Chains A and B, each alone.
Chain A
Amino acid sequence: MSTPLVSRQRGPDPGGGAGEVLVARDITKKFGGLTAVNQVSLTVRDGEIVGLIGPNGAGKTTFFNCLTGMETPTSGEITFRGRRLSGGADRITKAGLARTFQNIRLFPFMTAVENVQVGRHCRTRTGVLSAVFRGPRHRREERESIQRARELLDFVGLSRVEAELARSLPYGDQRRLEIARALATDPGLLLLDEPTAGMNPQETRDAMLLVRRIRDTGLAIVVIEHDMRFIFSLCDRVAVLVQGAKLLEGSAEQVQADERVIEAYLGAPVVGAPVDGASGDAETRS
């Protein structure tokens, strides 16, 4: 793929350590008396895929929401390429964090290509006057935006349906479209929230290939996923969240071997019950 997928965002690091893209320090999020995320830290470096796993209700999506500005963390600090992130979701996306949603949130009545073009919004700056008078900037940006949107649709394999409404696409394609839309914002870090949820095995394999291809362009990725095959074959590092707190972080092998992870997913073993083979069951979604 010759597409220059990764943005101008990348480039010489303005600060921070060895290629650190995202550093989240002690993120805590409380909803009233409930602590959904408790002192979670996470570091993501250039070109790596970090997996985020944990049983349902562990606070994975809330953590994502804190990173992307959809929720304001109660405490903690997030830096992206050495700069502190603040402000709402739109400013954080503009800073270079793009996300997809657990339950797809496309613009259902816009066509596929329009959806991706919306992603270009924060990288274009045509103003009202230029748009009303079809000024040179409008025409140039419009041309570039549609061209980039088509490149991205081609990259995720949706060129043939560019004029279809988002809502009329098959489920797997909707997921890909959401990824294309996120990529259109020229992110420096892509956050995928359960990219294979509800997919059949074939679609899951395609999604894995797609995520790998995105990584190969040099983009850092954080992914929440329940499909352990997906996690263990793709992720360079895996963080396990249990009841809002980070239980452990390490390589796929380390996590797979850890008793506590199995325990978190399946509950503490009853005395005398066989523990062996239980890790296979961890793949099943609740």
Chain B
Amino acid sequence: MTTPSMDPDGSGRTGRVAAIRSATRARTAPLTVPLAAAGAALTVAGSLTPWATFFFGYPGKVTLTGFPGGARLYTLLLAVGLLLVVARIAGRRRAVLACALGIVAISVGNLLAIASSGGGLGAVAYGAWLTVAGGVLGALAGDAVREPADSERNLRWGRLWVWAPLEILLIALVLGGLLVAIVIGLKINESSAFVSYLAFLGFAAAAAVALGAGTLVSYVSERHRTVTLAAAAITAAAFPFTQGGDSYWIRVAASIGVFAAAAIGLNIVVGLAGLLDLGYVAFFGVGAYVSALLSNATFTTVHVHVPFGAVIVLGALTSAFFGVIIGAPTLRLRGDYLAIVTLGFGEIFRIVANNWDGLTRGPNGISGVPNINANGFDFGQPHTVFGIVLPGFANYYFLELLLVAGVMVIFANLNRSRIGRAWVAIREDELAARAMGINTVALKLLAFAMGAFLAGAAGTVNAHVTTQVSPDSYTFLESALLLSAVVLGGMGTLPGAVLGSTLLFVIPEKLRTFQDKRLLLFGLALILMMRFRPEGLIASRRRQRELLSEESGADAMSQPGQVARA
């Protein structure tokens, strides 16, 4: 039974390489280049001509000829990407397709939006149609490019060693670009314009990744770890200075920080140890309640004030304690059963908080939580740094940065220790892990407690950011959102959890019009992710390998043990 599995990696490898070589040489359809050129030309023409027949306040000056702005500018930029068909670069097929689909998505989306807000298709001018046509032609051209669909060839970027200062410059440019992109994005107020912008960024990033930019950046940043980390910290710290004293987005960013810290904690439980926890937000709630109760809030049941430094530790420890209490009886369960039990415990927490009037004030919650005051430094006060006024929320933002950084260090260091290895081993084969002397119950409990600890720490800060805690903030929905943040961003990675939390927070803030359909949209997004990029936006290398090999069934044969178990 196991014999046939021996071959694919032995003699098979050379055969596969040969196949890839011949596929690279394979002819691309002759019409590709003219098609792409025509698509690009049409798109450029479309982007320079009006998209709406009359002026009704649609963003991006869409009635003007020339002056491409907003959506039209994005299609113009993506049109340049279509010209990649002539470049002999690996990955151009996916890059061209990404650009073309980006043009189609942006133009069709705006066309529909113009039609609906302008009172019918009569409001749509020829420029929009031209752009759609250009995008479709581009997609056809991209589809005609013949290229082997092998995801590993771009690894050659990783082996490329450029001059170190240049590499550091690249890191600075990427991070700076990210900050600029965020600041620009946050300044866009109209929903449609913001969606167009997001689509542009998404498709442009997909094209860049197809060409190997992702691999290049990840390898370069790995080579200059310290520099990258410092640069990322500086970039993150620079954000409040870009807001001109306005506190709105800084406040959102502080909430993202709380959320991201909790998501990273959840990532330990789900991403490393492979335990599906659907009641995770309860731990976050425990931290928040501890913090609110010990802050001497306006409406509270316990009139004590404990310094915040002690509260954060206390909240985290209480939460970890509950993690152990809940984990000890449940962690013998596996997979779906564990998920159901944790779901139940999450609900128990909410219901207890809702009914224990003597401590939690029931559904009223504890409100009027004061600002943190550390040694006379009041977190509610604005401060002026380098002549720029930072609103009060900036203090919380910086505190969050510290918290997220700390949580990241904990995650990364655990991941690269014997404990992290044991977690991954448990996830990959629990029985074999036990046979290797790993006390799986204790380690799973540890993962659970670590996750709860970090969520509790995040919760203590959150009580101060939102100034009130009440049971309805800790529903199953919040657990599901945290989990989506982890899955969307990429299980088992740090930037993934941060990116996932950011998207899940910023998009609803921006799309007020879709507020009530927000969960529907997240659901759709997750389904699409599972279909097209199951490893998440930023994939951990191990996860990516696991998921990629699940897709190609033949490969799975080289692990006879798995076949036997299936």
Contacts of A121 in B (CB 8 A): 418, 421-422, 425, 436-438
Decide if A122 touches B437 in the complex (CB within 8 Å): yes
Decide if A132 touches B418 in the complex (CB within 8 Å): no
Count of chain B residues near A, Cβ 8 A: 44
Partner of B562, one of A88, A108, A170: A108
Judge if A120 is at the interface, Cβ distance under 8 Å. yes
Judge if B2 is at the interface, Cβ distance under 8 Å. yes
Decide if B409 touches A167 in the complex (CB within 8 Å): no
Decide if B432 touches A101 in the complex (CB within 8 Å): yes
Decide if A88 touches B434 in the complex (CB within 8 Å): yes
Roughly how many angstroms separate A23 CA and B40 CA in the complex, as a whole number?
Answer: 79
Question: Please, which residue of chain B has its CB at the minimum distance from the CB of A187?
Answer: B437
Contacts of B433 in A (CB 8 A): 107, 118
Decide if B417 touches A103 in the complex (CB within 8 Å): no
Decide if B559 touches A110 in the complex (CB within 8 Å): no
Interface-forming stretch among B5-13, B31-39, B179-187? B5-13
Question: Please, which residue of chain B has its CB at the minimum distance from the CB of A88?
Answer: B434
Decide if A70 touches B437 in the complex (CB within 8 Å): no
Decide if A168 touches B9 in the complex (CB within 8 Å): yes
A225 to chain B, nearest CB (A): 15
A268 to chain B, nearest CB (A): 28
Judge if A90 is at the interface, Cβ distance under 8 Å. yes
Partner of A101, one of B10, B558, B561: B561
Interface-forming stretch among B94-102, B134-142, B541-549? B541-549
Decide if B2 touches A197 in the complex (CB within 8 Å): yes
Decide if A90 touches B413 in the complex (CB within 8 Å): no
Question: Please, which residue of chain A has its CB at the minimum distance from the CB of B429?
Answer: A105
Judge if A138 is at the interface, Cβ distance under 8 Å. yes
Q: How many A-B residue pairs have CB under 8 A?
A: 140
Given contacts A132-B409, A132-B413, contact A109 B419 (CB under 8 A): no
Contacts of B446 in A (CB 8 A): 128
Judge if A48 is at the interface, Cβ distance under 8 Å. no
Judge if A38 is at the interface, Cβ distance under 8 Å. no
Residues 60-114 of A at the B interface (beta carbon under 8 Å): 68, 70, 88-91, 93-94, 98-99, 101, 103-110, 114
Judge if A51 is at the interface, Cβ distance under 8 Å. no
Decide if A90 touches B9 in the complex (CB within 8 Å): no
Judge if B554 is at the interface, Cβ distance under 8 Å. no
Given contacts A101-B561, A109-B546, A170-B9, contact A131 B436 (CB under 8 A): no
Judge if A148 is at the interface, Cβ distance under 8 Å. no
B266 to chain A, nearest CB (A): 18
Judge if B450 is at the interface, Cβ distance under 8 Å. yes
Count of chain A residues near B, Cβ 8 A: 51
Judge if B414 is at the interface, Cβ distance under 8 Å. yes
Partner of B419, one of A91, A93, A131, A169: A131
Decide if B564 touches A103 in the complex (CB within 8 Å): yes
Decide if B425 touches A107 in the complex (CB within 8 Å): yes
Decide if B2 touches A198 in the complex (CB within 8 Å): yes
Roughly how many angstroms separate A226 CA and B538 CA in the complex, as a whole number?
Answer: 47
Roughly how many angstroms separate A181 CA and B428 CA in the complex, as a whole number?
Answer: 15
Contacts of B409 in A (CB 8 A): 132
Judge if A35 is at the interface, Cβ distance under 8 Å. no
Judge if B110 is at the interface, Cβ distance under 8 Å. no
Judge if B439 is at the interface, Cβ distance under 8 Å. yes
Judge if B560 is at the interface, Cβ distance under 8 Å. yes
Judge if A249 is at the interface, Cβ distance under 8 Å. no
Partner of A90, one of B418, B439, B564: B439
Judge if A117 is at the interface, Cβ distance under 8 Å. yes
Roughly how many angstroms separate A124 CA and B550 CA in the complex, as a whole number?
Answer: 33
Judge if A145 is at the interface, Cβ distance under 8 Å. yes
Partner of A105, one of B422, B424, B438, B561: B561
Partner of B3, one of A90, A110, A198: A198
Residues 404-460 of B at the A interface (beta carbon under 8 Å): 409-410, 413-414, 417-422, 424-425, 428-429, 431-440, 446, 450
A77 to chain B, nearest CB (A): 21
Judge if A185 is at the interface, Cβ distance under 8 Å. yes
Question: Please, which residue of chain B has its CB at the minimum distance from the CB of A124?
Answer: B418
Given contacts A110-B421, A131-B414, contact A171 B434 (CB under 8 A): no
A7 to chain B, nearest CB (A): 12
Given contacts A109-B428, A131-B413, A171-B5, contact A89 B435 (CB under 8 A): yes
Roughly how many angstroms separate A124 CA and B434 CA in the complex, as a whole number?
Answer: 15
Roughly how many angstroms separate A98 CA and B421 CA in the complex, as a whole number?
Answer: 19
Given contacts A134-B413, A198-B2, contact A89 B434 (CB under 8 A): yes
Contacts of B420 in A (CB 8 A): 131
Decide if A128 touches B436 in the complex (CB within 8 Å): no
Given contacts A128-B419, A142-B418, contact A103 B560 (CB under 8 A): yes
Contacts of A41 in B (CB 8 A): none
A108 to chain B, nearest CB (A): 5
Decide if A93 touches B436 in the complex (CB within 8 Å): yes
Given contacts A106-B561, A134-B413, contact A94 B437 (CB under 8 A): yes
Question: Please, which residue of chain B has its CB at the minimum distance from the CB of A120?
Answer: B418
B441 to chain A, nearest CB (A): 8
Partner of B436, one of A119, A126, A172, A200: A119
Contacts of A105 in B (CB 8 A): 429, 431-432, 435, 561
Judge if A165 is at the interface, Cβ distance under 8 Å. yes
A146 to chain B, nearest CB (A): 11
Decide if A107 touches B549 in the complex (CB within 8 Å): no
Question: Which residue among B1, B409, B438 has the maximum number of chain A CB atoms within 10 Å of its CB?
Answer: B438
B129 to chain A, nearest CB (A): 49
Judge if A141 is at the interface, Cβ distance under 8 Å. yes
Binary CB contact string for chain A from 127 to 146 against chain B (1 if under 8 A, 0 otherwise): 01001111000100110010
Contacts of B564 in A (CB 8 A): 103
Decide if B559 touches A132 in the complex (CB within 8 Å): no
Decide if A93 touches B435 in the complex (CB within 8 Å): yes
Decide if A118 touches B429 in the complex (CB within 8 Å): no
Given contacts A118-B421, A142-B417, contact A107 B428 (CB under 8 A): yes
Given A110-B425, A128-B450, A171-B2, 10 more A-B residue pairs with CB atoms under 8 Å apart are A70-B434, A90-B436, A103-B564, A109-B428, A119-B436, A121-B438, A131-B420, A132-B410, A134-B413, A169-B9
**CB pairs A–B below 8 angstroms (22 shown):** A68-B435, A70-B431, A103-B565, A106-B429, A106-B432, A107-B424, A108-B559, A110-B421, A110-B425, A110-B428, A121-B422, A121-B425, A122-B436, A122-B438, A131-B419, A132-B413, A138-B417, A165-B545, A167-B558, A167-B559, A168-B9, A169-B9
Interface, chain B (partner A; CB < 8 A): 1-3, 5-6, 9-10, 409-410, 413-414, 417-422, 424-425, 428-429, 431-440, 446, 450, 542, 545-546, 549, 558-562, 564-565
Q: Which 8 A-B pairs have the closest CB atoms?
A: A122-B437, A131-B417, A93-B437, A171-B6, A198-B2, A105-B432, A103-B564, A89-B434
Interface, chain A (partner B; CB < 8 A): 68, 70, 88-91, 93-94, 98-99, 101, 103-110, 114, 117-124, 126, 128, 131-134, 138, 141-142, 145, 165, 167-172, 174, 181, 185, 197-198, 200
